[in-house]
Amino acid sequence: MNAIETKNLTKRYKTKTAVSGLTLSVAEGELFALLGVNGAGKTTTIRMLSCLSKPSDGECFVCGHSCISEPASVKNVVGISPQDTAVAENLTVLENMRLICGIYGFSPEVTKRRIDEMTGLFKMNEVLNSRAKTLSGGWKRKLSIAMALIAEPKVLFLDEPTLGLDVLARRELWSVVEELKGKITIVLTTHYMEEAEALSDRIAIMIDGNLAALGTLAELEAQSGESGLENTFVKIASQFGKGGVK
Amino acid sequence: MNKVSAFSSRNFKEIIRDPLSYIFCLGFPLVMLLVMTIINDSIPPQTGMTIFRIDNLAGGIAVFGLTFVMLFTCLNVAKDRSGAFLVRLYATPMRSGDFILGYVLPTSLLAVLQILITLAASFIVSLIVDVELNPLGLLLALLSLLPTIVMMIACGLLFGTVFSEKAAPGLCSIVISLASFLGGVWFDADGLGGVMLKICEVLPFYHAVKAARMATALDFGGYLPHLLITLVYSAVVTIAAVIVFKSKMKADLQ
């Protein structure tokens, strides 16, 4: 069974179609990157897949559950780290993680085990009792991802997880994501080509809400006749009349 | 219930870890209590002005203090809505009722604590200035203020849901001013009469203050209408807040 399946998934707003007829599938344990310029429809796609937005048309399934008719079941198997850091600022790192465990109704034993696991995975021991508002951007982003992961989701959505981070913090997050690879399904949106190139199994390129290309890096390179993801992306974007590049 | 208690605990901590909540929810009403007591002491007895006497002040200041609980409820909700934190929680199994209870329960506890402290401080002041305040009356004043607690917190939830983080405090300031002036906390609305009294009577604050004052004085002649009016207002505002919060959440998830 695929972890994610979308069929003709469409999101229309009053004057704009944010996602248009998106059909794709993501296998269990796959790390799937969604690439695109601002406004390409990446975040809207993630919002629909995590039941934060209702599709205007089409269907989407997460772990076999319909995002339209079974949102409660979908919410039990997904975790999301939104684009903006989503943490409770006046709570400590530990309290933020406890909050999510409480919301999912974990027992004290499970809560402790999951917090220990997240603390180890993200090496958060030194900041465990620091309030979130005092953390650097990199630590906040780690906490945000830890909060998405702590409920043991089967599918993790990372919406531009390294946006605005310095190179060291970004590389640290990459290593965490690499550790998760194969264990859970991850959908990652990013503007950074090298990030998608380094981490993902398959890449989807979205242009103006449409799926412009989909495949492994090698497949996309072969399709575009270019080498490297950045050149490939630019070529595909220009074929769709984007970016003014030829 | 796990979800509600986890979210309530978070909201409680968010508010009590903000130093401004102590200054406004506790410090300001207590300072006003002391300042008005000093002013009362300076008013010549022959004027017959008793509005600032501690038995009148206690209930009025308690209502005044609750307006700041409304402010902090509003700020908490508006802040959450303006950031990505609620987006994260929307993607969890939490339902709209869990959110509403999670916001309302901790602020209700804070409101009760605030009233208890205000009334206890009033009792101490009454001993100092030698004005009789019956502890039973103070307890009944607390009970009389329960609908007002609900109304103020519902107002906070409503304003925090409808208005942005920047607009909400300004709007709350208007309600705080209206509540203290048109509630007759700082002047004798009954003595004034006329249009001013009519305006006061239309709004719930005057009735909340009157109910608390009458309970404090163990004077129950005409008490029930004041309590009933605050009950009706609190029910209406609560229903409006719940409907608006639920529909806003639904719209957020469209």
Q: What is the pTM of this model?
A: 0.89
Identify the burial level of A49 via C-beta atoms within 10 angstroms of its C-beta, where 0-12 means exposed, 13-18 middle and 19 or more buried: buried
Residues of B with CB under 8 A from a CB of A: 2-3, 5-7, 9-10, 13-14, 17-18, 83-85, 87-94, 252-254
What residue in A sits closest to B5 (Cα-Cα)? A102
- Nearest CA-CA partner of B69 in B163, B9, B139, B148: B148
Residues 6+ apart with CB under 8 A from B70: B152, B153, B155, B156, B159, B172, B175, B176
Query: Hey, is the C-beta of A146 within 8 angstroms of any chain B C-beta?
Result: no
In tens, the pLDDT along B200-241 reads: 999 999 999 999 999 999 999 889 999 999 999 999 999 999
pLDDT of residue A245: 42
- Please choose, from the candidates B126, B157, B156, B163, the residue with its C-alpha nearest in 3D space to the C-alpha of residue B141: B126
User: What number is the ipTM of this complex?
Assistant: 0.86
The helix (H) or strand (E) run that includes residue A9 is strand A4-12
Percent of chain B at pLDDT > 90 equals 62
At residue A66, the 3 state secondary structure works out as strand
In a mutational test of the A interface, the residue from B10, B22, B72, B95 whose CB has the highest number of chain A CBs within 10 Å is B10
The alpha carbon of residue B182 is apart from the nearest alpha carbon of chain A, in Å, by 35
Q: Does A148 score more than 80 pLDDT?
A: yes
Question: Which of B10, B85, B253 is the closest to A53 by Cβ?
Answer: B253
Q: Examine the pLDDT at A115 and tell me if it is beyond 70.
A: yes
Tens digits of residue pLDDT in A35-70: 988 888 999 999 999 999 999 999 999 999 999 999
pLDDT interval class at B27 (50, 70, 90): confident
Q: How far apart are the C-alpha atoms of A105 and A122, rounded to whole Å?
A: 23
Q: Is A79 in contact with B91 (Cβ distance < 8 A)?
A: yes
Q: Beta partners for A10?
A: A57
